[in-house]
Structure 1
Amino acid sequence: MVQADKKLTEPKKFDLNNYLKQKKVLVEQALDSSIAIARPEKIYEAMRYSLLAGGKRLRPILCLATCELTGGTIEMAMPTACALEMIHTMSLIHDDLPSMDNDDFRRGKPTNHKVYGDDIAILAGDGLLAYAFEYVATQTQNVKAENIIKVVACLGHTVGAAGLVGGQVLDLESEGKPDITAETLSFIHTHKTGALLNASVVSGAILADAQKADINRLSNYAQNIGLAFQIIDDILDITATDEQLGKTAGKDLEAQKATYPSLWGLEKSRFKAQELVDSAIAELSTYGAKAEPLRAVAKYIVTRDR
């Protein structure tokens, strides 16, 4: 009887798969309704082609989770969550271009420029980027105007030379160079990958009108998982198949890109990723069970296979 009572009082284990599935459904619905086909049809079709091509939707889900953690709602955060995915999609479209990483597949489908041509792919990325800011500004409800402005500024900083663009430039410049340091590699990925993950978490907290101390803690969490995410990406480029990744495996090696495994080896890279995730989780200690979604996402980052 005592054993049965104990079972009844044990806390239910958090089901990350179910959580991600539920939130992904909401995000997919919101993304689908965010962009309608208008004239000229081709550009809207190209934008929707990549935006609705699937994927983990990790960035919008992090935004929703952080907003809820800090006292906000899904409704408050959804426009920004969609904008984050628009920006992420833009970066993928441009990253896949022949002048950048030159990839033919993304998420198991032909890349945007393979379907629509380089010219339309560039414009589709531009269209998504511009629309992301418009969408936050016009669709966000029940949030202080000053906080909406802060989110817009956060996204602008993230995508510019201080964020994605700067990281991409240094990444391209580092190709084929054998003497790239850990510091340079960290700079590349903190800006190219980590910046948008950080914006996803921080914007969710800003929308909920979180205190500065909370925003700082959550930003530390995000920076740690951002770098861990990229280390695992580098590992998977070596160890996973095309089918698992939904894109061409081994591209980093072929392009002679600076990666963590090339610098440290696979074992040390995995250790470093786990270290970063442990640090990220430690930042959530003050939030108790409410932060379980963010803890589970951090753990998922080092165990994923695609």
Structure 2
Amino acid sequence: MSNFFNYTDRLRPRIEHALIEAIPATANSQLGEAINYALTGGGKRIRPLLAFASYEAIQGHTDHSALDAVACAVEAIHAYSLVHDDLPAMDDDDLRRGRATCHIAFDEALAILAGDALQTLAFEQLANIDSVNADVKVRLIKALCAGAGHQGMVLGQAIDLAAVDNTLTLKQLENMHCCKTGALINASVTMGALVAEADDSALSALWAFSTAVGLAFQVQDDILDVTADTQTLGKTQGADAAKNKPTYVSLLGLDAARQHAARLLEEAKAAIAHLPGNTAPLHHIAQYVVERER
């Protein structure tokens, strides 16, 4: 995984700087602190990295200034989703990234408001981009809406909550995770490609790649939920099993789940074999997704 960490080391400072610059000034200091806590509290930054890598797979570099706003937008949506997912009415978790979740560090009402602010911040970032034409800007906003909203991540969370204590087929489980986890990963990759002015063929290839990676990410999450400890994960180990949630491991078994992740990795790599730019970063991210230990 050294190639992944080399890529991260190159882009992480740029991403973190952009996130800090994006944090809004608020009239309420506690709200500002909660937004900052949720947005800059660590994490792998997989979604921003995917946006950069997708652009690079078309153009061969990551020089475009619009990528910073795209990175902030997808990470703001991701951060808001974690804040809300951790709430007592949802997954009711008190640990995230090795520290107290937002509603524990502050309070439940402030966590809800911080999540709301992060969601609108994401679209503000895209609306303020001045280095792409109006058509590309609209397509960026539409892509993030599709990934984050009632057809994507929010739908997936609703399906996930309804699935507790129920048995799903593999097709139903994959549909849930294509929405809950995969849709924002699709959006991240698509948005990088839109900034790169990718053609329809490249967009289709990148969609296939990101769909496979999104599923592989969730398969590995399910594997880690039963094989890693809480300290390594940075969140409560065994939480899914404790809530009787359907997972790839509960449905397929541990060995078969690992094999499924490996197949998805190969699908992802094959999908982008003919893109014109540098596809190595996308390969490194996909490899990391299925080999990570947290």
Tell me the TM-score range normalised by the shorter chain: over 0.9
Contact 1:37 1:45 in 2 (8 A): no
Task: Tell me what 1:10 maps to.
Answer: none
User: Partner of 2:147 in structure 1?
Assistant: 158
The aligned residue for residue 82 of structure 1 is 72
> Structure 2 stretches of 5 or more lacking a match?
none
2:56 corresponds to which residue? 68
Q: CA deviation at 1:16?
A: 2.3
1:97 & 1:14 partners in 2: Cα distance? 35
Asked if structure 2 preserves the Cα contact closer than 8 Å seen for 1:155 and 1:199, the reply is yes
SS in 2 for 1:55: coil
How many Å separate the matches in 2 of 1:101 and 1:38? 28
Describe the shift of the 1:43–1:108 C-alpha distance in structure 2 as closer, same or farther (beyond 3 A). Answer: same
**Which residue does the alignment assign to 2:187?**
199
- Asked if the contact 1:49–1:112 (Cα under 8 Å) also holds between the matched residues in 2, the reply is yes
Superposed structure 1 runs of 4+ greater than 3 Å apart? none
Q: What is the identity, as a one-letter code, of the residue corresponding to 1:113?
A: H
State whether structure 2 residue 120 is matched by structure 1 residue 120. no
> What is the CA-CA distance between 1:76 and the residue it aligns to?
2.2
Give the corresponding residue for 2:44: 56
Q: Secondary structure at the match of 2:44?
A: coil
Give the match for residue 273 of structure 1.
Answer: 261
Report the residue type matching 1:165 in the other structure.
V
Q: When the two structures are superposed, what TM-score results if normalisation uses the length of structure 2?
A: 0.96
Instruction: Please report the TM-score for the alignment, with normalisation by the length of structure 1.
Output: 0.92
Q: In the alignment, which residue of structure 1 is the partner of 2:210? A: 222
Q: Which amino acid aligns with 2:266?
A: D
| Cα pair 1:143 1:208 within 8 Å, conserved | no
- Check if 1:23 corresponds to 2:11: yes
- What's the offset of the Cα at 1:68? 2.4
Q: Deviations over 1:13-69 (max 9, x none)?
A: 983211112211110111011114431111111111010000100100110111122
Shift in CA distance, 106/206, structure 1 to aligned 2, threshold 3 Å: same
Higher Cα Rg: structure 1 or 2? 1
Counterpart-to-counterpart distance in 1, 2:22 and 2:66: 15
Give 1:240 deviation, angstroms: 0.5
Q: Does 1:141 align with 2:130?
A: yes
Q: Following the alignment from structure 1 to structure 2, what is the Cα–Cα distance between the partners of residues 14 and 287?
A: 23
Moved more, 155-164 or 187-196: 155-164
Q: Using the alignment, how far apart are the partners of 2:2 and 2:148 within structure 1?
A: 33
Alpha-carbon distance, 1:192 to partner = 0.2
Say yes or no: does 1:243 pair with 2:228: no
Kept in 2, the 8 Å contact 1:227–1:276? The answer is yes
Q: Provide, for residues 205-229 of structure 1, a one-character-per-residue CA deviation record: whole Å limited to 9, x for no partner.
A: 0111110110010010000000000
Query: Matched residues in 1 for 2:93 and 2:160: separation?
Result: 16
Check conservation: 1:64, 1:74, Cα contact below 8 A.
no
Unaligned runs of 5+ in 1: 1-12
> Which of 163, 167, 178 is the equivalent residue of 1:174?
163
SS at match of 1:248: coil
State the shift of 1:288 in Å: 6.8
Structure 1 residue 73: Cα displacement: 3.0
Aligned to 1:9: none
Q: Is the 8 A contact 1:64 1:73 kept in 2?
A: no
Give 1:100's aligned residue. 90
**1:252-281 CA distances to partner (integer Å, 9 max, x unpaired)?**
000000100000000000101110110100
* Structure-1 separation of matches of 2:69 and 2:3: 26
Q: Is the 8 A contact 2:95 2:234 kept in 1?
A: yes
